[in-house]
Chains A and B, each alone.
Chain A
Amino acid sequence: MAEDDLDEMRRLLAGSPPPAPREGAAQAARLAALEAFDAATALAANPVEARQSAADEKTLEEVQVSAAEPRRRGMVQRPAVEVIGGGLIRRLAMTLKALSTRSLVLGGVSVAVLALALALPRDEAPILQPTGGGGILGLYSNSAGDTAGAPTEGADAEIALAFKPPVAPAPAPPELRGRPLPESLNRSLQHSPQGRGGQAATPMIALPHLDVESASGIRPPVGEPLPKPRFEAEGRDRFEEIEINPVKVVTEDPVSTFSIDVDTASYGFVRRSLMAGRLPPSDAVRVEELINYFPFDYPAPETRETPFNADIEVIETPWNAGTQLMRVGIRGYSLEAEERPRANLVLLVDTSGSMNAPDKLPLLRNAFRLLIGSLSPEDTVSIVAYAGSAGTVLEPTPVSEGATILNALDRLQAGGSTAGGEGIRLAYQLAEQSFVEGGVNRVMLATDGDFNVGITDPAQLQDFIEDKRETGVYLSVLGFGQGNLNDALMQRLAQNGNGQAAHIDTLAEARKALVEEATSTLFPIAEDVKIQVEFNPAQIAEYRLIGYETRALRREDFDNDVVDAGEIGAGHRVTALYEITPVGSEARRIGDLRYGADEGTETAAAANDEMSDELAFLKIRYKAPGGEESQLISRPVTADDVAETPGSETRFAAAVAGFGQLLGDDRYLGDFGYDDVIELARGARGEDRFGYRSAFLSLVGLAKSLDTTAPDGE
């Protein structure tokens, strides 16, 4: 009979119930609902009174009053058990109970999950424990008194809930399991609006979902089978597929062309993944972004007339004795503070419900606080929110009125529906309104992946951003959180907007992306920067470009000024590595052709004796910011560039490249393993003023312990 099958299915599905709602999300939803409710009633009733009651509800006094005297209105005063026990929920509870006794097999599974959950180093974050006794226990209790008057303790209890301490069943944000929050961030969280809004702490939140479970006694808070533990619970990150650059034969294909790329978002993502105890998907690993994360110490140009220097070093390849690594390092001219053009920044902030997580909106708020601290007094900042309280949060305001800006930042709340509205148009409108001729005009989009900014079609959105770029307003994209990020779209939008995509997961990362690199991110010194390398077949037999798979250009695009490419900001460093195989090396991967393959070599070698000992010829094309016509910088790569004692910068870059390939596609690495990366990087830490390289070392160690398929490198 059909019903048997259906029962079977029911049983199966009951084994993966929805996770418990996140307290933060519940509060954001509640807040948004009440806002909408007030708006609706204000229309219907006396507007003055409506406003008044809304204001009342939000005061802190009410929280205290209602905590002392839990139910002011008669009808909600019934004991919670009775309230919750009826109707559909009771039936649901009974069904669940019945199912759980029938599917005892699942019990064993639950135990396994429990063990897994405990093995995670959640308790490494002792900061996050609730300071008071009430919050958590009250939440899980089903006694009438507790539910009605649970002593929620303001901000502390709030935070504890949002972080899901060990007893909580729902997955904590992955990075929180791995390490404690920075103290400063934690402090700021305690003052986040969700803690002081009033509603947040109102003990009326009964969480019927949880009550049902505890009342029926079938789903203990610990060990509940989560729907997609660790791996899939947050599976909305999206990456374009990467096909690794192949080895090319110089006689057949002597020219390599690509666009410069200063993005570093992949590094942030990889780090978060590893910190959360899992290897990143290989498509998430962009080797060039990992390398470019590190500010290498290349010589800077002396004057503004040469916007950047190209520094080249050739060393032996750490993973292949028969080949060499050719490192091209580019460093943009650094502007002194007084040389900086004025900045006109518009922050376009996602305030959808999912942003209400400690590593999103609160982090974003602090990140912008840092950024604002690094701007000049006459620069202007405006803020637009694009969900919920959509609209202009702050009209263009000079940084000299810092307090106004900081207040506006604090007012940002994750709330309201993601109906979007005209967020992005509004942002560009503000940017145009206070446009600075010859200055930096930039919209900075901060989101956890909801690109519902008022234009739903990605293609149309892309066009819009591209159009606006022509008017001189650029776009940067800052990604927050994990699990929801649409990396591919983020990259594409930033690229189309002549901006940068960065993934911000910690305050330290925010400082790096927004403050230390503020000048480079904000003040472009060259646009449409393209690199072309021509290899000399008399010297080099084969080559492959490491990374930059998504930035490849056609050979003819190099001289075509209509074709876009990446921009370089003040002080930016960009690194590209080629693995090159000298003629006559036994490490060649591709054999000679039988017919007439040598001809090219002969001609090239014979063509000019002077050129014959050059390894390659480097050409860089760029445009001045806003310029139409490109300029060319070029230089040969000669035997003089081959280092006798390889410098620490190139060795470290090589280590990062090896690491990226191990995580992504390691087909060219032989038996080079994590230990080799560690050894190589350890010896090349250099000055490491900000500790980036040391942090990299621990990251490699982490990956080594997680990646059981990689060779030991012994």
Chain B
Amino acid sequence: MLEATEDKALAALAGEGDRAAFARLVDRHYGRIFGLSWRLMRNRAEAEDLAQDVCVLLARRIGSYRGEAAFTTWLYRLVLNAARDRARAGAARARAHDGFAEVDDLRRGEEAARGREAEWLREAIAGLGPEMRETAVLVLDEGLTHDEAAAVLEVAPSTVSWRLMEMRKALKRLAETAGGPG
């Protein structure tokens, strides 16, 4: 609780233009921003660039944080939105990169068995669309409760539960038809 309170206090100060408070806020949360970015982008260079985008956004938006939600909730939302923007911008780029997937598949085939299940799971979840993926990252990776995730995603908690249920079903089907992580 202490941390959450401090975050709010720091954010309030930063919002008023306190540079040190803002710097402290960035320092405290960079690891989390990067971690979430990595989970969303699944690639270091992309994650680093996204994390940096978020830090810059944070500077511009901190004044609009009113302390209504927990700071981390607000921050998660910022990351998520930035990731969505980035994904949209990347869609155009992606068209030029079709050949890549095959190379990547090859490489993956060479990889040792370690982490294959987790990899399969991430892969499968990613295949279920951005909503499922975002929900999964928040609940499964970041350990948020359904309520917290719902606050970040700005949907009803029941929607989060429903998505997880659907995801479960879809994954089961996938595992059965595609042979799963093998």
Of A34-42, A495-503, A534-542, the one contacting chain B is A34-42
Contact of A33 among B1, B59, B106, B115 (CB under 8 A): B59
Partner of A85, one of B2, B31, B122, B139: B2
Q: Which of A12, A75, A416, A456 touches B118 (beta carbons < 8 Å)?
A: A12
Q: A633 in the interface, Cβ–Cβ < 8 Å?
A: no
Q: How many angstroms from the CA of A73 to the CA of B55 in the assembled complex?
A: 22
B24 on interface, CB distance cutoff 8 Å: yes
Q: Which A residues from 191 to 244 make CB contacts under 8 A with B? A: 199, 202, 204-210, 212, 225, 227-229, 231-241
Instruction: Find chain B residues with CB under 8 A from A45 CB.
Output: 17
Least CB separation from B51: chain A residue: A29
Q: CB of A117 within 8 A of chain B?
A: no
**B144: min CB distance to chain A, Å:** 8
Separation of A455 and B168 alpha carbons in the complex (Å): 40
- Chain B residues near A227: list those with CB within 8 A: 38, 42, 115
Asked whether A451 is an interface residue with its Cβ less than 8 Å from the other chain, the reply is yes
Contact of A21 with B31 in the complex, beta carbons under 8 Å: yes
Report the Cα distance A38→B22, complex, angstroms. 10
Name B14-32 residues within 8 Å CB distance of A: 14, 17, 19-24, 26-32
Which residues from chain B contact A19 at a C-beta distance below 8 Å?
38, 44
Task: Check if B63 is an interface residue, CB within 8 A of chain A.
Answer: yes
**Residue of chain A at shortest CB distance from B95:** A458
User: Complex Cα distance A34/B14, Å?
Assistant: 11
Contact of B92 among A28, A30, A229, A456 (CB under 8 A): A456
Residue of B with least CB distance to A449: B45
Q: How far is the CB of B10 from chain A (nearest CB, A)?
A: 7
Within 8 A of A (CB), among B84-128: 89, 92-93, 95-97, 99-100, 102-104, 106-108, 110-111, 114-115, 117-119, 121-122
Q: A57-B19, A87-B3, A283-B99 are in contact. Are A92 and B142 (CB under 8 A)?
A: yes
**Dominant secondary structure of chain B at its interface with chain A:** helix
Q: Which of A13, A26, A91, A483 is within 8 Å of B122, CB to CB? A: A13
- Asked if B26 and A41 make an inter-chain contact with CB atoms under 8 angstroms apart, the answer reads no
* Central interface residue in A53, A87, A207, by most chain B CB within 10 Å: A87
Distance to closest chain A CB from B15 (angstroms):
10
Q: Closest CB-CB distance, A206 to chain B, in whole Å?
A: 5
Q: Does A489 contact B (CB under 8 A)?
A: yes
Do B3 and A41 touch (CB < 8 A)? no
Decide if B80 is an interface residue (CB 8 Å cutoff). no
B147 contacts partner chain A, Cβ-Cβ < 8 Å = no
Tell me if A257 is interfacial: C-beta within 8 Å of chain B: no
A22 within 8 A of B: yes
Name the interface size band of chain B. Answer: 35 or more
Question: Does B140 touch A at the CB level, under 8 Å?
Answer: yes
Bound form: Cα–Cα A209–B37 in Å: 13
User: Quick check: is A135 within 8 A (CB to CB) of the other chain?
Assistant: no
- Asked if A9 is at the interface (CB within 8 A of a chain B CB), the reply is yes
Contact with B along A72-97 (1 / 0, CB 8 A): 11011000001111111111100110
B111–A231 contact, CB under 8 A? yes
Of B3, B22, B93, B96, the contact of A86 (CB 8 Å cutoff): B3
Question: Shortest Cβ distance from B5 into chain A, in angstroms?
Answer: 8
Interface residue? B131 (CB, 8 A)? no
Task: Determine whether A100 belongs to the interface, using a CB cutoff of 8 Å to chain B.
Answer: no
B-side contacts of A643, CB under 8 Å: none
A458 closest partner in B (C-beta): B96
A239 and B103 within 8 A (CB): yes
Asked if A233 and B44 make an inter-chain contact with CB atoms under 8 angstroms apart, the answer reads yes
- Cβ-neighbour of B6 out of A13, A83, A210, A418 (below 8 A): A83
**B47–A2 contact, CB under 8 A?**
no
B164 adjacent to A2 (CB under 8 Å): yes
Task: Please tell me if the beta carbons of A41 and B17 are within 8 angstroms of each other in the complex.
Answer: yes
**Given A15-B115, A37-B22, A204-B24, A88 and B4 touching (CB < 8 A)?**
yes
Known A32-B55, A88-B3, A235-B104; judge A76-B30 contact (CB<8 A).
no
Asked if A232 and B140 make an inter-chain contact with CB atoms under 8 angstroms apart, the answer reads no
Q: Is B157 an interface residue (CB 8 A)?
A: no
Q: Indicate if the CB atoms of A86 and B4 lie closer than 8 Å.
A: yes
Cβ contact within 8 Å between A234 and B2 = no
A457 within 8 A of B: yes
Q: Does B151 contact A (CB under 8 A)?
A: no
Q: A16-B118, A236-B43 are in contact. Are A87 and B35 (CB under 8 A)?
A: no
If A10-B140, A13-B121, A231-B107 touch, whether A486 touches B96 (CB-CB below 8 Å) is yes
A53 to B97, CA, bound (A): 45
Q: Are A12 and B117 in contact, CB atoms less than 8 angstroms apart?
A: yes
Interface residues of A in 13-72 (CB under 8 A from B): 13-22, 25-26, 28-30, 32-41, 44-45, 50, 53-54, 57, 72
Q: A residues within 8 A CB of B119?
A: 16, 228
Q: Is the CB of A311 closer than 8 A to any CB of chain B? A: no
Which residues of A have CB within 8 Å of B17? 41, 44-45, 50
* A344 CA / B172 CA spacing, docked (Å): 61
Are A205 and B51 in touch, CB under 8 angstroms?
A: no
Contact A40 B117 (CB under 8 A): no
B70: min CB distance to chain A, Å: 8
Q: Given A34-B19, A86-B4 in contact, is the A18-B106 Cβ separation under 8 Å?
A: no
A 531-559 to B, binary, CB cutoff 8 A, 1 in contact else 0:
00000000000000000000000000000
Q: Is the CB of A29 within 8 A of B44?
A: no
Cα A501 to Cα B134 in complex, Å, equals 37
Say whether B140 contacts A13, CB under 8 Å. Answer: yes
A456 to B86, CA, bound (A): 11
Q: Is there contact, CB below 8 Å, between B141 and A13?
A: yes
Shortest CB-to-CB span from B175 to chain A, Å, is 11
Contact B106 A419 (CB under 8 A): no
- Let me know if A488 and B38 touch, CB within 8 A: no
Q: In whole angstroms, how far apart are the Cα atoms of A486 and B99 in the complex?
A: 11
Which of B19, B30, B48 is close to A37, meaning CB atoms less than 8 Å apart?
A: B19
Chain A min CB distance to B113 (Å): 9
The answer, among B6, B96, B122, B165, for a CB contact under 8 Å with A488, is B96
| B72 close to chain A: CB less than 8 A | yes
User: Which B residues are in CB contact (< 8 Å) with A661?
Assistant: none
Q: Shortest beta-carbon distance, B80 to chain A, in Å? A: 15
Alpha-carbon gap, A58 to B8, bound state (A): 26
Asked if B115 and A225 sit within 8 Å, CB to CB, the answer is yes
Of A22, A76, A416, the residue contacting B56 (CB under 8 A) is A416
Could you tell me the distance in whole angstroms from the C-beta of A457 to the nearest C-beta in chain B? Answer: 5
* In the assembled complex, B67 has its CB within 8 A of some CB on chain A: no
Does the CB pair B110–A209 fall under 8 Å? no
Chain B nearest CB from A377 CB (Å) reads 38
On chain A, the residues within 8 Å of B115 by CB distance are 15-16, 109, 225, 227-228
A-B contact pairs, 18 of them (CB 8 A): A6-B164, A9-B121, A15-B118, A30-B27, A36-B59, A72-B20, A75-B6, A75-B9, A88-B70, A91-B143, A208-B32, A235-B43, A354-B49, A416-B52, A416-B56, A418-B53, A483-B45, A486-B97
- Having A2-B168, A22-B44, one finds 7 other A-B pairs with CB under 8 Å, namely A18-B38, A22-B48, A30-B30, A57-B19, A208-B31, A236-B43, A417-B53
Task: Give residues in B with beta carbon < 8 Å to A.
Answer: 1-4, 6, 9-10, 13-14, 17, 19-24, 26-35, 38-39, 42-49, 51-60, 62-63, 70, 72, 89, 92-93, 95-97, 99-100, 102-104, 106-108, 110-111, 114-115, 117-119, 121-122, 136, 139-143, 164-165, 168, 171
Closest 8 CB pairs of A and B: A209-B31, A86-B3, A36-B59, A33-B55, A353-B52, A18-B38, A37-B59, A458-B96
